[in-house]
Structure 1
Amino acid sequence: MAFRIFPEDEQVIELLVHMSQCVTTSVDLLAEHLSAADDRTGETLQALLDTEDECSNLYFSLMTTTRSSYVVPIPRQDLYILGQWILKSVEALVACAETQQLYKIDRPTSHATEQLNVIRLMSEMTSKAMGRLATLDELDDYWFEMIRLSRQSERTHRTYRASLLDKHKAPHAIRRMDAADRLLDASRALGHVSAEVGRVLVSES
């Protein structure tokens, strides 16, 4: 084992885990928002905005901790990229809720529910993976499973768009597709997280 004058600062790992948990919280809040009665949507949207703020603050803490630490478990630029994509996933989920609110879209379809289930699973796997970055243990399986889930999300999105165009007139379909695109943005952001983890595995092996 290599001797280090300064121990690794694993606080950065904890911050990434907490950021990933913000994604899971956002998925749950978005699911609640999409099915909430009209008099509760303001409350659920505010909870989503608060979670977005929390994730942004965690990202700021990640950056300041990374810059001030002598030794971090993985390269500093990788920590920046991982945090950036996790935050983008939260932002996309919040944007979906805001789009739903602005366009006054009624209850979501089964395709939206399926997408949320996939994103939640991706977020849970990402939280566990972030906790393993210090050792890089069992991350190969995470990376491979995230590829599968990303493909599932892309297929669901294509089916979702086709269904909207088939069942709704163009203006209404476009509004719904705007919200659907934000869900895809969230899953793609998590896919970028796993791709970055794969790159770290290759470069650190």
Structure 2
Amino acid sequence: MATHVTAGTQTLAELLGAARGDFASLAESLRQHEAASSSDFATLLTGMRTSFINPLPREDLYALGQLLNETSEILTGAGEAIELYSLDRIPARVSDQLEILSRQAELTVTAMKSLNDLDSLEDYWLEILRLAKRADHTHRVVVTELLDAHSPTTFVKYRALADQLVFASRQMRAVATHVGSIIVKES
């Protein structure tokens, strides 16, 4: 599911630079990533119910899967904000938000492949927390700049996009925090 989040961030990056005519197809691509994530989550749930032995406690696998799946849903919301509001002049700081989120997603893909070696995941946990703080700061700056540069109506439209990106970043932080709790619990 983490790979679907990464694919979603890549599609969002395309969407930020796309012409209005391409918004619908790229937003549909985001919905497909979300559907694939939901399918993988259902497969995970079935696998956990039918397996006698799981690599981690079931509740931990469920929580990680749920958080990653919800992140895909949030990314779809960001794409739909661009599509529905026809946001074709994306501020540079919003791109900064997406860059931070993309880095979180890349690190999470690697971490999810390493769940069998929890000792190697402490750096991941701490780096995601650091990136999440940076994402929160960037969001505050984005909101301030949007407020200064736009009418109230336009501000609300761009703020909806910026909010979705910070929500996705916070979800990635929640994934890392849960990995941190697994590290502590299993040590």
Which residue does 2:151 correspond to in 1?
A: 169
1:137 pairs with one of 95, 119, 122:
119
The Cα RMSD (Å) is 0.9
2:106 pairs with one of 124, 127, 130:
124
For 1:171 and 1:40, how far apart are their aligned partners in 2? 24
Partner letter of residue 98 of structure 2?
Answer: L
Partner letter of residue 108 of structure 2?
Answer: T
1:29 pairs with one of 11, 23, 34:
11
Q: Is 1:188–2:158 an aligned residue pair?
A: no
Counterparts of 1:1-205 in structure 2, within 5 Å, are 19-205=1-187
For 1:175 and 1:37, how far apart are their aligned partners in 2? 17
Partner letter of residue 128 of structure 2?
Answer: M
> Which TM-score applies when normalising by structure 1?
0.89
Q: What per-residue deviation string (whole Å, max 9, x for no partner) do you get for residues 92-132 of structure 1? A: 11101101111122221111111111111101110111111
For 1:94 and 1:189, how far apart are their aligned partners in 2? 14
Q: Runs ≥4 in structure 1, deviation > 6 angstroms?
A: none
SS of the residue corresponding to residue 106 of structure 1 reads coil
> Which TM-score applies when normalising by structure 2?
0.97
Give unmatched runs, 5+ long, in structure 2: none
For 1:107 and 1:58, how far apart are their aligned partners in 2? 34
- What is the CA distance between 1:135 and its match in structure 2? 2.2
Aligned residues: 187
Give unmatched runs, 5+ long, in structure 1: 1-18
Higher alpha-carbon deviation: 181-190 or 128-137: 128-137
Query: Which of these two proteins has the greater Rg computed from alpha carbons?
Result: 1
- What is the CA distance between 1:162 and its match in structure 2? 0.2
Partner letter of residue 35 of structure 2?
Answer: D
SS of the residue corresponding to residue 105 of structure 1 reads coil
**Structure with more of its chain in helix, by fraction:** 2
- What is the CA distance between 1:137 and its match in structure 2? 3.4
For 2:53 and 2:69, how far apart are their aligned partners in 1? 24
For 2:162 and 2:129, how far apart are their aligned partners in 1? 20
